[in-house]
């Protein structure tokens, strides 16, 4: 008889537990909604943005920070395969900061030099944060040698390995 009584007392306990969890979940969801509504800023009708002049194609053009007027030249993206494994590709976009007026001819020479260098690099050399830092240091050293000190900084904009 004791076994049947213990089974009967477990059933209502399970139902009560499920009901209590459901009620607490509803209260927690409602409380979260209420706090979110109090903390979130009210939506505005119209947000004001800076006016940007449309270009010749009719699209709006975002002003660039990296311009030749600032002494910065963005190089064309470099896409090449690695030395090993040759199935892996790397895409690199860099910008060069010149000391004084930028030299576009020198920038193109540096672009070709970086592209040639990337073809000699293996995946194992550039894996992880330390490998990326070594790659940055190597490219900076090559740029310093090519530019004879006229390029003060090499800025990595994107770096993707596929």
Superfamily of domain 68-161: Band 7 domain (3.30.479.30)
Average pLDDT, integer, range 74-101:
91
pTM equals: 0.58
Residue 100 predicted with pLDDT over 70: yes
The DSSP code for 154 is E
| Structure confidence at residue 64 (pLDDT) | 56
Between 64 and 113, the higher pLDDT residue: 113
Express each pLDDT in 113-144 by its tens digit: 999 999 999 999 999 999 999 999 999 999 99
Residue 80 predicted with pLDDT over 90: yes
Average pLDDT, integer, range 81-85:
91
Residue 144 burial (CB < 10 Å; 0-12/13-18/19+)?
middle
Between 14 and 69, the higher pLDDT residue: 14
Average pLDDT, integer, range 41-67:
57
Other beta carbons within 10 Å of 73: 22
Residue 161 predicted with pLDDT over 80: yes
3-state secondary structure of 46: coil
Domain boundaries, the chain: 1-48, 68-161
| Structure confidence at residue 68 (pLDDT) | 63
Structural contact between residues 73 and 98, judged by C-beta atoms closer than 8 angstroms: yes
| Structure confidence at residue 45 (pLDDT) | 65
Q: Residue 85: is the preceding peptide bond cis (ω within 30°)?
A: yes
Could you give the C-alpha distances from 62 to 6, 17, 54, 67, in angstroms and in order?
A: 73, 58, 9, 12
| Structure confidence at residue 38 (pLDDT) | 80
The DSSP code for 54 is B
Between 48 and 142, the higher pLDDT residue: 142
| Structure confidence at residue 65 (pLDDT) | 60
CA distance 16 to 159: 57
**Lowest mean per-residue pLDDT among 36-40, 96-100, 108-112, 117-121:** 36-40
CA distance 162 to 147: 30
């Amino acid at each position: 008889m004791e076994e049947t009584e213990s089974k009967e007392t477990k059933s209502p306990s399970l139902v009560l537990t499920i009901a209590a969890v459901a009620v607490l979940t509803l209260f927690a969801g409602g409380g979260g909604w209420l706090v979110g509504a109090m903390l979130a800023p009210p939506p505005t009708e119209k947000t004001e943005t800076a006016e940007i002049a449309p270009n010749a194609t009719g699209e709006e053009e975002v002003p660039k920070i990296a311009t030749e007027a600032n002494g910065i030249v963005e190089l064309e993206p470099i896409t090449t395969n690695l030395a090993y494994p040759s199935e892996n590709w790397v895409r690199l976009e860099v910008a060069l900061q010149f000391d004084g007026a930028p030299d576009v001819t020198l920038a193109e020479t540096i672009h070709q030099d970086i592209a040639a260098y990337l073809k000699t690099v293996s995946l194992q050399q550039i894996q992880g944060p330390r490998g990326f830092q070594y790659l940055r240091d190597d490219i900076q050293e090559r740029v310093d040698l090519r530019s004879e000190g006229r390029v003060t900084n090499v800025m990595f904009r994107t770096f993707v390995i596929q």
